[in-house]
């Protein structure tokens, strides 16, 4: 699995550098795994401004400035993830931001959230996108799948948004 992460992170760093874009991350369930994969790549410092691992509700409030009233049960969901992406992008002043929340298991953090349910939000270049995945497996398998999916989401987002006429690639 590490080779897959390294391959995708390498392609991401190359693509960001080629397009002259910067990235910030707000990770919850992946625990900094996306940032870790990216920082394993030489040249990452030219494109990755930084990231926040906001794992608990308290960290989401303290580090990202979110309101406790905006945190859904289990701290997993589309609206929360979008707010995390907007906040980290504003804090680190990057072109793009990715945020992720989810439930790794073995138990769900809330009756409203299923184990394996993972949300991603991407913002930047006057665009935003939210994605939901339902991964199967144990905690480690779900976490690794989420890290890979986050890298894949970023690669697709950059290729789709930056290659449009407004942002020539």
- Give the pLDDT confidence of 58-115 residue by residue, as tens digits: 999 999 999 998 899 899 999 999 999 999 999 999 999 999 999 999 988 889 999 9
In 3D, which of 110, 32, 35, 105 has the Cα closest to residue 71? 110
How far apart (Å, rounded) are the C-alpha atoms in residues 76 and 80? 7
CB-side exposure of 34: number of CA atoms within 13 Å? Answer: 31
Residue 169 domain-assigned? Answer: no
- DSSP-derived 3-state class of residue 23: strand
Instruction: Yes or no: say if 101 and 118 are a contact pair by the CB < 8 Å rule.
Output: yes
Tokens of 71: 């945190």
pLDDT band at 165 (very low <50, low <70, confident <90, very high): very low
Q: Please tell me the total count of domains within the chain.
A: 1
Domain ranges, residue 70: 2-160
* pLDDT > 50? residue 36: yes
Residue 65 domain-assigned? Answer: yes
- Give the pLDDT confidence of 119-154 residue by residue, as tens digits: 999 999 999 999 999 999 999 999 999 999 999 999
∠ Cα 27 156 5 (to 5°): 55
In 3D, which of 83, 166, 78 has the Cα closest to residue 130? 78
Residue 93 domain-assigned? Answer: yes
Mean pLDDT score, 53-58:
96
Residue 166 domain-assigned? Answer: no
């Amino acid at each position: 699995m590490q080779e897959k992460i390294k391959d995708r992170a390498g392609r991401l760093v190359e693509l960001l550098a080629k397009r002259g874009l910067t990235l910030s991350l707000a990770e919850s369930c992946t625990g900094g795994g996306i940032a870790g994969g990216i920082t394993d790549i030489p040249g990452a410092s030219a494109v990755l401004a930084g990231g926040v691992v906001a794992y608990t509700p308290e960290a989401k409030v303290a580090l990202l400035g979110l309101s406790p009233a905006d945190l859904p049960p289990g701290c997993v969901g589309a609206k929360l993830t979008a707010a995390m992406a907007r906040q980290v992008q504003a804090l680190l002043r990057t072109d793009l931001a990715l945020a992720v929340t989810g439930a790794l298991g073995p138990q769900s953090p809330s009756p409203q959230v299923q184990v394996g349910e993972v949300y991603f939000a991407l913002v930047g270049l006057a665009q935003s996108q939210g994605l939901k995945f339902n991964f199967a497996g144990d905690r480690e398998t779900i976490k690794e799948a989420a890290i890979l999916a986050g890298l894949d989401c970023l690669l697709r987002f950059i290729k789709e948004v930056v290659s449009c006429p407004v942002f020539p690639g």
